[in-house]
Amino acid sequence: MNSNQAPDHTIRFRGKIKDYEKTLIKFFIDIGKNKDTPAKIQEILGYLIIHDKLSQSNLKELTGYSSGTISVVLGNLVELGVVQKERIASSNLYLYSKVGDLPKMFETSSEVSIEQFTLISKFMENKLNELEEYKGKKGYANLRNQINVLLDGFKKVMEIAPSMTKILSEN
Amino acid sequence: MEEENDPYDDKVRKIEKEIVEHLIKSPIYSTRNEITTKILLYIMLRKEITQHLLKHLTGYSSGKISQELNNLVDSGMIIRKKIPGIRRKVYTFESVEKISTARIKNIIAAMLKWQDHLYEMKSEMDTKRSKLGAMNGYDNIMRVIDFYLPAIKKYEKFSESLEIK
């Protein structure tokens, strides 16, 4: 094992502490159910929140998921901006950690969401232009109208995200 | 039951499908349940849609779609409407903001359900600090609880502000 990688004994909690850890993971999974986030994503994110830094093999040991599943989930979480990865010196392996402390993680997630909603909006505006080629075809008017409804809605949703972050950062 | 055909032109439907597929792969939606997201996106892009048409567009089974639609109705994100004169129901939504706020409120409600349990855990850990405090992971667990307990209170306040709006 590389010296930068979390040794197995430090990731394995014992006794009552292990029970508390299991309870927190249940908490994360339950929250996930209410935001349509699959249990495996919440479980992996939960372990990263609890342990700070973990390698893919640490996560495999903690969750029991396959390397492929863990790799895909970590890729999605990195892309979402809530998890970052750093290369373990002199190896091809990475350590994964949440971005900053917990309030910072929520803030980053919110900022990334705004960025992503902006990208999605641009994509949809392009599709709106593409749709013009089929003016008069069945479904054209409804799809055009609904794309505009979504674009308008995304703008309003982007206004909610910073106010949530602000409330979390208030004392 | 009579088969329902999609009234959309093929080329218009293709653009609609490209939007759905693009959004599902975007980082915002890629961490969400793909089936739920796909159904929700088609409801938003059609404004009103039947279960039959959803089956045709998504390829999912009637049972799966029915289960997902029930969950979305129960969570307050979409509305089920009866069409007078025929037996079919349509699924629609109020607004994108309503879907978003319903989702946030559901997350906060789930957090609130856990609040007492987390307080009990914290209290037990505080009481047994002399015995457990030196154990590996004690500080990690305490740090997470110490973040979430005040955060839940703040989210509750935020949820109330959404109610007022």
pLDDT reading at A162 higher than 80: no
Give A-chain residues touching B32 at CB under 8 angstroms.
35-38
* pTM score, whole prediction: 0.84
Q: B84 to chain A, minimum CA–CA distance in Å?
A: 22
What distance in Å separates the CA atoms of residue A168 and residue B15, rounded to the nearest whole number? 39
Considering only alpha carbons, which residue of chain B is nearest residue A37?
B32
Please state, as a whole number, how many other Cβ atoms lie within 10 Å of the Cβ of residue A78.
Answer: 16
Burial of B153 (0-12, 13-18, 19+ CB in 10 A): middle
pLDDT digits (tens, 9 = 90+) for B107-165: 889 999 999 999 999 999 999 999 999 999 999 999 999 989 988 888 888 777 776 55
CB contact under 8 A, B158 and A163: yes
Q: Which two tokens stand for residue A152?
A: 């308008």
Domain boundaries, chain B: 10-92, 96-164
CB contact under 8 A, A157 and B96: yes
pLDDT digits (tens, 9 = 90+) for B76-106: 999 999 888 777 899 999 999 899 888 888 8
CB contact under 8 A, B19 and A127: yes
CB contact under 8 A, A167 and B32: no
Pick B112 or A115 by higher pLDDT.
B112
Q: Which of residues 2-61 of B touch A (CB under 8 A)?
A: 7-9, 11-13, 15-16, 18-19, 22-23, 26-28, 30-33, 36-37, 44-47
Arch. (CATH architecture) of B10-92: Orthogonal Bundle (1.10)
DSSP state of B39: H
**Of B33, B109, B135, which has the smallest distance from its Cβ to A17's Cβ?**
B135
User: A86: which strand partners?
Assistant: A95
Query: Are B92 and B79 in contact, with CB atoms under 8 Å apart?
Result: yes
Whether B117 and chain A come into contact, CB under 8 Å, resolves to yes
Query: Are A72 and B20 in contact, with CB atoms under 8 Å apart?
Result: no
Residue with tokens 């029915």: B66
What distance in Å separates the CA atoms of residue B38 and residue B13, rounded to the nearest whole number? 14
Give A-chain residues touching B43 at CB under 8 angstroms.
none
Interacting residues of B129 by C-beta distance below 8 A, sequence separation 6+ = none
Interchain CB contacts (distance < 8 Å): A and B: 180
CB contact under 8 A, B140 and A168: no
Q: Are strands A83-87 and B48-50 parallel, antiparallel or unpaired?
A: unpaired
Domain boundaries, chain A: 8-98, 102-169
pLDDT digits (tens, 9 = 90+) for B31-44: 889 999 999 999 99
Whether A102 and chain B come into contact, CB under 8 Å, resolves to yes
Arch. (CATH architecture) of A8-98: Orthogonal Bundle (1.10)
Amino acid in position B56:
H
